[in-house]
Structure 1
Amino acid sequence: MIVLAIVFLLIAVRQWFRFPLRIWQIMLGGAVAVLLFFQITPGNALAAINPDVMVFLFCMFVIGEALCRSGYLDTLTNAFFRYAHTSRELVFFVLFGFGAFSALLMNDTVAIIGTPLVLGIASRSRIPAKLMLLSLAFAITTGSVASPIGNPQNLLIAVNSGMHTPFVTFAVWLLLPTLASLCAAWIVLSLYFRKDWKTAFSYEPPSEIPHDPALVRIVQCSLVILIGLTIANISISFIAAAIVIPLPLIGLAAALPVLVFSSQRFDVVKSIDWTTLIFFAAMFVLMAAVWETGFFQSLAGIAGVSSVPAILATSVIISQFISNVPFVALFQPLILQAGGGTARLMALAAGSTIAGNLTILGAASNVIIIQQAEARGETITFTEFAKVGVPLTLIQIAMYAIFVTLI
C-alpha cells in the first residue's frame, strides 16, 4: 500500500522535478519495488500480466503506427473534420465522433489512433493541444460506457454476469445518459477554455503528407478487418447472446496484413509505443500485489452493493487506486451474490468507466493518450486533468444515478 501511495504521489507531482519522470517509469519503479520487497512472487507477477490485453494493445499500436506512416490518417482527418469551422464545433465532432468510435472499437484502440490525429490538428491551428487531448480523453471514456465492448470492464460485466443480448441491455440502460454526459463534457470544456472556444478553425492538411500507396492499401485492409469483425461480434451477440470472437483474435487478424505484407513491417514494429506496453505490464504486477493485501476488497464490502448511488460512488473512488478492470473483477461477484440485478450491474459499468474522467489514473486510455502526447512534445499534468475532470465526473455520475435509478 505504501508503494501504491508513492506511485500515485509521483504521478501527481512528476512535472515538478527538473527532469520530469514519465508515467511508465514511475509505474515500472512501483512494480520493481513490490518484487524487491517480496510483496509478490516472480511467478505471481508474471501470471498477473494479462496476455489478452498485451496482445490486443500491441496489435492496435501496429495499426496506429501504420496509419500515421502511410499518410492515410491525414486523409481520414480531412474527411472527418472538414465541416468544423470553430473550436467549439471541432470539440463537438471530437466528443461525439470519437465517443461513437470507442463504443465500437474499444476505448484503448481509439486512444491509440486518435492522439496523433488531434495533436496534428492542434499543431496546424491556434487551438490548444490540451483542449484537444482533454476532449479526446473525455470522449473515449464517456462514449465507451454504452457498449459491452467499449472497454475491458464492460466486457467483463457482460460475459461474467451471463447477460442476454448485452448490446441491447447496455443501450437501453446507458445510451441516453451517455449522450447527455457527452453534452456535459462539451459544456464543461467550454467553461474551462472559454477564451479559445470561438477560435476560427479550418482544417488544412500538412503541406507534405508522407504517402505510401502500398501501405495505404494494407492499412485499409486492416481497418476493414477490424471494423468487420467488430460488427460481426455485435451481430452474433443478438443471436447467441454472447461475444464469441475474442478481442486478441480481432487485433491479430487486423494487424496481420501490416505484419505480413508491408515492406515497412520492421520499421512499424520498431516505432510503436513500447513504453505504454511496459506501463501496462508494470501496472498488472503492482495491482496484483495490491490485490493480495485484501485492502480494497474490504473497502468494497464496507461500501455495500445495495444501492445504485453507492455502487457508482464506490466505483469512481476505488478505480482511481486499483484501476477499473481489477475493481470490477472484485466487485461484480459481490453484486451477484447480493442478488445481482441489471440496475446494479449497469451502475457498476458506468461508475467504473466514468472514473476515467476524474483523474489520469482512472483509465488506461488516459495513460495511452498522455504517453503518446509526451512522445510528441505535449502533455497534460495531473492537476490540469483533475481541474476539468473532477467537476465533469460529478455531473456525469449524477446523470447516471438519476437515469439508472428511474429506469
Structure 2
Amino acid sequence: MPTLFRSFLHDRILHLLLIIGAILLFLANFRWSDLPGAVDWHTIITLTGLLILTKGLEVSGYFDVLGERLISRFKHERALALFMVLAAALLSTFLTNDVALFILVPLTLTLRKFSRLPLSRLIIFEALAVNAGSLLTPVGNPQNILLWSHGSLSVAGFIGQMFPLAAWLLLSLVALTWWSFSTREIQKHQNNETHQWRKPLFAVSVLLYVLFIAALEWHLTGWALLLIVLCFLIMARPVLLNIDWSLLAVFIAMFVDVYLLTRLPVLQAHFDAITHLGDGALYLLAIALSQVISNVPATILLLQKVPSSEVLAWAVNIGGFGLLPGSLANLIALRMAKDRRVWWRFHLFSLPLLAWAMLSGWLLLRLIS
C-alpha cells in the first residue's frame, strides 16, 4: 500500500495544481455542485484503462522481447529515431495520440536494457510526433473529435482540411529528427540473458486492449474498464498497484482548475468579444489559450463562442506544441519517461517547433484559402 501512495506524495505537478485550485476557489464564481461536471470523466476512464493495459503488457515482459528485436534491426541512432517518430505519427492517426504513446513509450524505455541511447530525447520526439500525426483525422485526438462533431465535414472532408498542415509539420519534424540524432552506431550491451515473457498475461492484455479500443467506439468505456479491473484482480493484482495513479489525479485537478479559471469575473467579461474576432486574432488566441489551459479545454471554450472552422482546427492543433500544458499527450509522455531533466529538455525542441508551426501554418493557411 505505501507504493500506491508514494507517487501522490512526490508528485510536484499535482501539488502545484492543487495549490492553484485552492486559490481559484476563493476568486471564481461557481457552485460546488458544478465541480464534478467540470471533469471530463470519459477521458479519465479512458486513461485509467490504458494505464492498466499498458502496465499489463509491461509486466508480461513482452516489451523486453520486442525491444531486443528492435535493437537488432537498427545499426544507427538516426535510423531508429526516424522509425520511432514515423511509427508514433502513424499510430496516432487512427489509435489517437494517447494510445500511440501508451504503446511506444514503454517500448522505448525497454531499449535501455539492450543499448545506450538518448531515450529521453527519443520520447520527446515521440510526443511531438503524435501531436503532428493525430491532427490529420477526426479521431486522432480529442480536440478533433469535438471540432468534427460540431462541424459539417465528412471524414474525408476533415482529412482533406487538415492534410496540408499534417504533411508540412510531419515533414518539418522528420527534418528536425534527422538533425537531432546522430549517425553513430548504436552501442549495444553484451547481454546473454534470454528474455522470457508471460504469454497468458500478454494474451489477456492484448485481447482486453482490442476490446477497450472497440468499447471507445461503441461508447461502452465504463463497462470495458470494469471488465479490465476484474480480470487483473484475478490474474495479476500487482499491475493495479503499480500504475501511475497520481497521473489521473493530475488530469482531474487540471480539469477543475481550467473550469475555475474560466469562471473568474475578470475573464468572463471578455468572453463575448471572442465572437467578433477575425481569423488572425482567433488563430493567435486559440494557440495562446492552448499553451495555458491545453488545447482540448481551449477547443471546448472557443466552440461556445465560434463555429468549427479550418482556422480554429489548425490553431488548436498547432497549440499542442510549445509549453508542456499545450497538449495532454505531452504530459503523458514525459510522465512515463521518469526523467526529471526531460521536463526542461522538452521545451528546447517544442518551443522552436511551435514558433515554426505558427508562422508556416498561417502562411500555408493563407496560401490555400
Give your verdict on TM over 0.5.
yes
What is the match of residue 176 of structure 2?
Answer: 188
What is the match of residue 61 of structure 1?
Answer: 51
Q: Does residue 1:28 correspond to 2:28, yes or no? A: no
What is the match of residue 317 of structure 2?
Answer: 353
What is the match of residue 278 of structure 2?
Answer: 306
Q: Does residue 1:393 correspond to 2:363, yes or no? A: no
Q: Does residue 1:381 correspond to 2:358, yes or no? A: no
> Does the aligned pair in 2 maintain the 1:63–1:258 contact within 8 Å?
no
The 1:206/1:101 distance shift into structure 2, 3 A limit, reads farther
> Does the aligned pair in 2 maintain the 1:323–1:361 contact within 8 Å?
yes
AA aligned opposite 1:35:
L
Q: What SS does the corresponding residue of 2:306 show, helix, strand or coil?
A: helix
Q: What SS does the corresponding residue of 1:68 show, helix, strand or coil?
A: helix
> Does the aligned pair in 2 maintain the 1:218–1:262 contact within 8 Å?
no
Q: Does residue 1:150 correspond to 2:121, yes or no? A: no
| 1:103-142 mapped onto 2 (5 Å cutoff) | 103-122=93-112, 124-142=114-132
What is the match of residue 15 of structure 1?
Answer: none
Segment of structure 1 superposing worse, 57-66 or 264-273: 264-273
> Does the aligned pair in 2 maintain the 1:170–1:346 contact within 8 Å?
no
Alpha-carbon distance between aligned partners in 2 of 1:211 and 1:261, rounded to the nearest angstrom = 17
AA aligned opposite 1:362:
G
CA deviation map 1:260-303 (0-9, x unaligned) = 26744422222111111000110111111101126556278359
Segment of structure 1 superposing worse, 169-178 or 199-208: 199-208
What is the match of residue 370 of structure 1?
Answer: 334
Alpha-carbon distance between aligned partners in 1 of 2:120 and 2:92, rounded to the nearest angstrom = 20
AA aligned opposite 1:306:
G
Question: How far has the Cα of 1:153 moved from its partner?
Answer: 1.1
Q: What stretches of structure 2 of length at least 5 have no aligned partner?
A: 1-8
Question: How far has the Cα of 1:31 moved from its partner?
Answer: 2.2
CA deviation map 1:209-248 (0-9, x unaligned) = 4511111111221233345567xx5xxxxxxxxxxx33xx
AA aligned opposite 1:149:
V
Pairwise CA RMSD? 3.1
What is the match of residue 267 of structure 1?
Answer: 238
Question: How far has the Cα of 1:151 moved from its partner?
Answer: 1.3
AA aligned opposite 1:220:
V
Which of 46, 53, 72 is equivalent to 2:62?
Answer: 72
Alpha-carbon distance between aligned partners in 1 of 2:276 and 2:76, rounded to the nearest angstrom = 46
> Does the aligned pair in 2 maintain the 1:355–1:393 contact within 8 Å?
yes
Alpha-carbon distance between aligned partners in 1 of 2:228 and 2:365, rounded to the nearest angstrom = 43
Q: Does residue 1:177 correspond to 2:165, yes or no? A: yes
> Does the aligned pair in 2 maintain the 1:300–1:314 contact within 8 Å?
no
Alpha-carbon distance between aligned partners in 1 of 2:240 and 2:260, rounded to the nearest angstrom = 31
The 1:198/1:329 distance shift into structure 2, 3 A limit, reads same
Q: Does residue 1:279 correspond to 2:256, yes or no? A: no
Alpha-carbon distance between aligned partners in 2 of 1:173 and 1:206, rounded to the nearest angstrom = 51
What is the match of residue 12 of structure 1?
Answer: none
What is the match of residue 213 of structure 1?
Answer: 199
What is the match of residue 326 of structure 1?
Answer: 297
AA aligned opposite 1:212:
R
Q: What SS does the corresponding residue of 1:198 show, helix, strand or coil?
A: coil
The 1:126/1:79 distance shift into structure 2, 3 A limit, reads closer
Q: What stretches of structure 1 of length at least 5 have no aligned partner?
A: 1-18, 234-244
What is the match of residue 201 of structure 1?
Answer: 186
> Does the aligned pair in 2 maintain the 1:107–1:150 contact within 8 Å?
yes
What is the match of residue 208 of structure 2?
Answer: 222
Alpha-carbon distance between aligned partners in 2 of 1:89 and 1:319, rounded to the nearest angstrom = 32
Q: What SS does the corresponding residue of 2:138 show, helix, strand or coil?
A: coil
Alpha-carbon distance between aligned partners in 2 of 1:51 and 1:179, rounded to the nearest angstrom = 32
Which of 79, 95, 100 is equivalent to 2:85?
Answer: 95
Q: What SS does the corresponding residue of 2:342 show, helix, strand or coil?
A: coil
> Does the aligned pair in 2 maintain the 1:304–1:311 contact within 8 Å?
no
Question: How far has the Cα of 1:362 moved from its partner?
Answer: 0.8
The 1:378/1:255 distance shift into structure 2, 3 A limit, reads farther
